[in-house]
Structure 1
Amino acid sequence: MFLKTLLFVLTINCLSEYSCAQRNKKFFRKDYSFLEDTESFYKFHTLPKTWPEAKKLCALEGASLFYPQNDHEAHIVISYWNATQPHHAILLGISDLIVKGVFETIDGYPISDVYNRWYRGEPNDAGGVEDCVVMMKDGRLNDDGCNKKFPFMCKKTLQSLEWNQQCNIPNLDYVFNLELGRCYKFHSAPKNWTEAYAACSAEQSYLAVINTQAEADLLVRTAEAASQRQARRTELTGVVHLGFHNRLDEGWQAVGGIALEDTGYAVWGSNQPDGGSQERCGAMSSNGLLHDINCNTRASFICEHEVDTLSSQLDDRFGELALTNVVKQ
């Protein structure tokens, strides 16, 4: 008990500098740049996505799909865009998907209340399928198809920044476990294994890897509790995606490239693994035993976060003489 209490006190003391001063340090995530003139963080995603995909990815990162609040923000962001990226168009968090012809931001503001500089003759809903908005490097807007892929930006305002003190991460949904010294989040919305992998990565975490029987027991309890809470809202499968696979034909490995037998926990269920070439991804059953499954199986999943990950990022960031993530216009 004394050791657990000491670990808790040390954890809080070590994180207090970061958790209490994130706004002062103007730090959100290492992959986001802070623009002083807008007091917001931005990340340019160069891999094109559809509008729904872009919106979901920004949300997973704890941000939102960017749109300019006004001419001032548009000017600042376009200057940053021109200085750092070659792309000529980006998706904006504006659409008329709810009511045709009524363009609104993702948080419900009419476009007339924010940035509203269309090209002449736009929006024109060409072909009846242009319900989302893109912005060109000259600042003009055009309506386009929501299923067309474009680069995009995610945004997080400094004012909205909150911090999970125990997990040292800007995501309040992660729960710290004192005994294991790690944080976990149960995702009840079913995804296939690769989607789950990407979702954890977007949250600066990874699909959970079991290292001990105690951790297996914790994840079983976590899944059981979450399943009971979510039973009326979503259909959960009998397994939970975990962070191991055989997708590379190199034997079963944890997501960090470590052989499964070297993780400390490789307790397979009866007759598992049994799927051959069709079941290359890993999961856990309700009793904590490991199963191989088809990677396309949709299931709930658990993400794991190491508490000191962002601490080292902050040390790196504020140890540099030139703060490359702070962009001043």
Structure 2
Amino acid sequence: MYRILAALAVVTLSVNGLSIFDTRSGYTLYPRIGFYKYHQELLNWSDAYRVCLQEGGHLAIANSQEEAELLLKIFTDSPRTERYFFLGFHDLYLRNNFTTIYGEPVQRTGFFNWAHTNCVGQNVCATNVTDNKRLSCGVMGLYSVEAGFYVHPCDNQLHFICEKELWYDYERISNMGYYKLHKIGKTWGDAWKTCRDEGADLAVIQSSTEMSTLQEILGRYPEILDADSDNKVHLGFHNKLNPNIYSTVYGTFLNSTGYIYWATNEPSASGNCGGLVRKGQLFMGNCDAKLAFFCKHPIVKK
């Protein structure tokens, strides 16, 4: 689920050597994985589901071993009174058929590991009643040293973790992609890293239609105060690898992208990093200039 939300202010932190970013909404960005927020309060599964939705996110879903281990680490490093926390899967549609909150079978998420001995290797959990209560809602907890799933009664009061996708605050443009204009100026290299940390790339213009789209987004901000220039933005091309070859961050030739419209006297020798001026023209500039920049993530087809 992807949403168009206002860009969030970001503060750089470091935890165990991992660079993360703490947003004003209380969510933390773990580069290339996602945004997460741990809730210490105890709620039943239904109310936890509601809280995450109201925050523009969803109950966390483990889509990889890396993400599952991260969720468990967030929990173990946080204050808690219970040994489990809710995740975004259940069997409320059909008993013993566990699906995510989006209706996807749990075994198709990219991480499928039952910690409960009666559920190992299955999509059904043989133990479905405890104290006359169905075990219907997914949890993870501290009874296993490895990340794995358990199921609990949905009306148990537990901690929970909410998640937002890496590009949740990007703007979706039909048939093109998800875009985000970062209005705090960064060097080209730092801009490239920021996009990568968000699971995206520095934008590469591939058509005149896409150029017009970026122009329209940029036009909403006639003044960009936190940058060296409000007339230019970084894009995802350069000639860092060879001064005579203009290539994209995808490793392809710039002239194969479908859009090359240089500004007057460009490409110049004034720098090795590419960008866009407000008039929709490309330029080469100083990689150390702190400019606004566009990140892009392609349309995800499910």
- Higher strand share goes to which structure? 2
- Higher helix share goes to which structure? 1
